Amino acid sequence: MIDMAQKIEVEKAKTSRIASVDFDNLPFGSVFSDHMLVCNFSNGEWAAPKIMPYQPISLDPSAKVFHYGQAIFEGMKAYKDKEGSVWLFRPEDNQRRLNVSAKRMAIPELPKDYFMEGLKALLQLDKDWIPQSEGSSLYIRPFIFASGQGFHASPANEYKFIIATAPSGAYFSSGKVKVLIEEVYSRAANGGVGYAKAGGNYAGQFYPTQLAVDQGYQQVIWTDDLAHEYIEEAGAMNIFVRINDTLITGPVSDRILNGITRKSILEIAKQEDIPVEVRKLRVSEVVEAAKNGSLKEMFGAGTAAVVSPIATFGYRGMDYDLPELTQSYAAHFKKRITDIQYNRAEDPFGWRYKV
Ligand SMILES: Cc1ncc(COP(=O)(O)O)c(C=O)c1O
C-alpha cells in the first residue's frame, strides 16, 4: 500500500492569520483556518491530496455542481484536551458516510486513506487553530463537488474533494430551541436522497425553515412525506423524545440521515440500561404525551450542537412547552459525549481517535 501521509504535498501559508482571530468570541463556522486540503478527481482517478493556503477556487461556469447540484459534504469536529492533545470523534464513520453519499449522487468514492491521512495532516499543520476553551472546537467540513464542465445533464468526469476547517463556538447562541412540526413541506421522500448529505437536501429546507422563522420558530421538525404523520428529523439533527423514562427515536431510513450522535446516544443508553425504543413515532403520540404530562423531553442530536434541548414545539397553530428538568437525559448525554470528545473521561466504546 502507498503511504498516503508521504504523498501529501504541503504548501504552507506565507503568513498566518491566527493573530487576527478572537478565540474568546468565536462564531460558528465563519472564521477559517490557514490551510485547506484539496484533492482532484480526473481521468478516472483521485490524484494525491495537496495541502495549501485557504483560498478561493476557480471554476468554469459550466461546472456541473452549479447546474445539477452534484455536491456532498460531511460535518465533524476536532477537540483539544487540557494537555493540548488533539482528538476526533468516530471519524471513520464520517469517512464511510461520505462514500455512502457519494454513491447515491453518482460521485466517485474517495479512498479511505485519502480522507483519514489527509485530515490528520491538515489538523497537524493547523493544530494552533483548534480552540481549547469549553464548548469550542475546530469544525471540519470535508466536501466533494462536480467541477467537471458541460451543460449535459449527466455525472461530471471531474470532481474536487476539499477539507476546510473553522474554529467555532456554540452552534445555537441560546439554549432554548423552539421548533415547528412541519405538515406541508417535506425534506425527503422514499427512494430519494434524504439519507445522503447532499447539498440539495439543505437548500430545499431553507424556504420552509424561513417560513417557520417568520412565525417565531428556529427549526423545522420534518415529518414523513406520505401523510406527515410521523416525526422524522430536524434540519441538521436527529430527534429524540422522552416519554416518561423511555427514550424514543425513529429508525433511520432512506429519508433520514444516519447520524453519528444519534447512534452514540443509543449506545450510551443501552450501556446504562435506559429504556430505549427505536420505532416510528407518531406526531399525535407526542402531542398526546405533551397534553397528559408524560412528555418529559425532546431534543435534537447532531455534531454541530451535540445535544440540543427543545423548549417548545409548535403544531397546528398550538405551542407546547416542555418541562424544565433538573436531571434531563439531554444534559446527561451531552456530558457523556463531550467528556469522551474532550478526553475528560474513559471511552469504553473506543470512539475517541487521536490525531
Ligand atoms: C439532516 C441531518 N440529520 C442529522 C444530522 C446529525 O448527524 P451527526 O450526528 O452525524 O452529525 C445531521 C448533521 O450531520 C444532518 O445534516
Q: Nearest 10 degrees: CA dihedral of 245, 253, 222, 321? A: 0
Nearest CA to ligand 1 atom 16: 236
Distance CA 4, CA 245 (A): 48
Residues 6+ apart with CB under 8 A from 149: 60, 62, 63, 64, 156, 158
Spatial contact of 287 and 310, defined as CB atoms under 8 Å apart:
no
Spatial contact of 63 and 180, defined as CB atoms under 8 Å apart:
no
Spatial contact of 174 and 55, defined as CB atoms under 8 Å apart:
no
pLDDT, tens digit, 9 for 90 and up, residues 165-196: 999 987 766 567 999 999 999 999 999 999 99
Nearest CA to ligand 1 atom 13: 236
How far apart are the CA of 13 and the centre of ligand 1, in A?
Answer: 32
Closest-lying ligand 1 atom to the alpha carbon of residue 76: 11
Distance CA 53, CA 56 (A): 10
Closest-lying ligand 1 atom to the alpha carbon of residue 201: 1
3-state secondary structure of 267: helix
pLDDT, tens digit, 9 for 90 and up, residues 271-314: 999 999 999 999 999 999 999 999 999 999 999 989 999 999 99
pLDDT, tens digit, 9 for 90 and up, residues 65-111: 999 999 999 999 999 999 999 999 999 999 999 999 999 999 999 99
How far apart are the CA of 304 and the centre of ligand 1, in A?
Answer: 8
Percentage above 90 pLDDT, the chain: 93
Phi, psi of 291 (to 5 degrees): -70, -40
